[in-house]
Amino acid sequence: MYNLTEGNVTRCMVSFAIPLLLGNVLQQLYSVAAAVIVGNFVGKAALAAVGTAAPIMNILMFLMVGITMGSSILMSEFFGAGKHEKVRQEEVTSLLSGLIFTIVLSVAMIFLINPLLLLIQTPVEIMPQAEAYLEIIIAGLVFTFLYNILSSSLRSIGDSMTPLFFLIFSSVLNIGIGVVLVKQFGWGVCGVAYATVIAQAVSTVLCMGYIYWKVPILRFHVRDLKINFPLLAKTASYSSVSAIQQTFLYVGIFILQGAVNPLGVDAIAAYNAVTRIDSFILAPTDSLALALTTFISQNRGAKKVDRIRHSMKSSVVIGVSFCGLLAVSVFFSAQALMTFFLDSGEVSAIEVGVKYLKIMAIFYILPAFCNSFQGFFRGLGRMDITLFATIVQIPVRVILAYLLVELFGLSAVAVGVAVGWICMIVYEAHQYRQYY
């Protein structure tokens, strides 16, 4: 456990955020591993299938993250206030209620896979592979939820290092199993899907074992497995807004896929690759936002306002520094990055991806501000502001992409994303001024 209510603010945030950053990068490896393995061992059609399935998968994955976000904020606040029994009650309540929701959602989604793929105009030649991939991922969604709720429980009490160790092991396992199932057994996209589910299941088991043996504050027994309904109501008020926000964000990305798909398999394959690269570039600011949320929640519970104000400034400075360095790197290495995902012979797809990345590199500094604001308001429990900020930017992304895609191809998506970020920053900065 690590109490974030004492000590140097910047040092606390960096120490807590570094394991989160490494964990975020490893989380990206789950999806990147699938793209790299099928892109190199199966072909661009398989890569396009995984890319087409990704927005649907991400909606579900980040819905799980949204559900656990509200619980994590409350647990951090209770921990900062020294209410350890409340921390455990919140953990159990969120675990049970979220597990029921996840099972119901998984069953419903199995029947919606085909209609959703048709909705985004998935090319007929990659439809069977995209369906098969999603069926397996959705069947294992329960492990995604369990890992997220358990790891967020550990982070809420200041332990960001232990989930990282488990994730390192499961990421290596994911890649190893994926290569074996695809290269040796020829299972194609199904192989990487099974590898992802198995690796997430291993992460879940490791987290459960560690909490039981090493973390008394989070340890629970069969007799503790009951829902605290007053806590559930408060959790739902936080988690539902966060889940809606995450879902709205990835529904927007899902709709963007509909603008890309008519451009053909080359564009789809390129888009799959560049979105994976985007995820890595945004990982530092995503991690800072999560660290900032936990930091502010703990200090809100301890009623230390000065530390909250200082933490926001530290987050922006650190985020801008990271993003600036990464943006320069991407701009000058765009070609090499694309050939990591695609065979060098796929000249057309690589060219489309390089052009996208060079445009995006100009704007990569903007998420340092977007995500710092998001982390700040989540930590204060102002989920309504974070939700509206997302509602502001997503329609801008989508509308601009569809309006410009015929003229500029995949680059239209990059322009839409950048303008959406700018709109989001303007709104969040205005709200921030009302606090400080």
Dihedral, CA atoms, 7, 9, 15, 17, nearest 10 degrees?
Answer: 140
Residue 331: what pLDDT? 92
How far apart, in whole angstroms, are the C-alpha atoms of residue 118 and residue 174? 29
**Percent composition of the chain: helix, strand, coil (DSSP 3-state, to 5):** 85, 0, 15
- Total domains in the chain come to 1
Please answer whether residues 335 and 350 qualify as being in contact, where contact means their C-beta atoms are separated by less than 8 angstroms: yes
Q: Is 196 exposed, middle or buried (0-12, 13-18, 19+ CB in 10 A)?
A: buried
Please answer whether residues 1 and 142 qualify as being in contact, where contact means their C-beta atoms are separated by less than 8 angstroms: no
Residue 31: what pLDDT? 64
How far apart, in whole angstroms, are the C-alpha atoms of residue 388 and residue 390? 5
How far apart, in whole angstroms, are the C-alpha atoms of residue 418 and residue 277? 16
Task: Quick: pLDDT tens for 176-219.
Answer: 998 899 888 888 888 988 998 998 899 899 889 999 898 888 88
Residue 263: what pLDDT? 83
Residue 203: what pLDDT? 87
Residue at 346 is within a domain: yes
Residue at 1 is within a domain: no
Token pair for 98: 């979220």
Average pLDDT of every residue of the chain? 85
Task: Quick: pLDDT tens for 65-92.
Answer: 777 877 888 898 888 888 888 888 999 9
Residue 432, helix vs strand vs coil: helix
Confidence of residue 352 (pLDDT cuts 50, 70, 90): confident
Task: Quick: pLDDT tens for 223-240.
Answer: 888 888 888 888 887 777
Continuous H helices in 380-433: 383-408, 411-433
Residue 30: what pLDDT? 64
- Does pLDDT of 366 surpass 90? yes
Task: Quick: pLDDT tens for 381-427.
Answer: 888 898 899 888 889 989 998 998 888 888 898 899 999 999 999 99
* Lowest mean pLDDT across 106-115, 259-268, 318-327: 259-268
Continuous H helices in 161-304: 161-179, 189-214, 229-260, 265-301
- Does pLDDT of 130 surpass 70? yes
How far apart, in whole angstroms, are the C-alpha atoms of residue 221 and residue 373? 38
Residue 56: what pLDDT? 82
Identify the CA nearest to 20 among candidates 320, 290, 278, 200: 290
Q: Domain of 353?
A: 9-433
- Does pLDDT of 262 surpass 80? yes
DSSP string covering 149-175: HHHHHHHHTT--HHHHHHHHHHHHHHH
Residue 45: what pLDDT? 81
Cα three-residue angle 288-289-291, rounded to 5 degrees: 60
**Chain center to CA of 301:** 26
Q: Which distant-in-sequence residues (6+ apart) come within 8 Å of 402 by Cβ?
A: 259
Q: Is 310 exposed, middle or buried (0-12, 13-18, 19+ CB in 10 A)?
A: middle
Identify the CA nearest to 71 among candidates 218, 221, 203, 238: 238
Residue 112, helix vs strand vs coil: coil
Residue at 229 is within a domain: yes
Residue 265: what pLDDT? 79
Residue at 2 is within a domain: no
Identify the CA nearest to 155 among candidates 38, 263, 262, 65: 65
Identify the CA nearest to 362 among candidates 340, 318, 330, 393: 330
Residue 346: what pLDDT? 77
Q: Token match 């509200």: residue?
A: 70
Residue 436: what pLDDT? 63
Residue at 406 is within a domain: yes
- Does pLDDT of 1 surpass 60? no
Task: Quick: pLDDT tens for 31-50.
Answer: 677 777 877 778 778 878 88
How far apart, in whole angstroms, are the C-alpha atoms of residue 265 and residue 202? 34
Find the mean pLDDT for residues 128-155: 90
Packing angle, helices 411-433 and 347-363, rounded to 10: 20
Task: Quick: pLDDT tens for 279-304.
Answer: 778 888 888 888 898 889 888 888 88
Identify the CA nearest to 69 among candidates 9, 145, 167, 142: 145
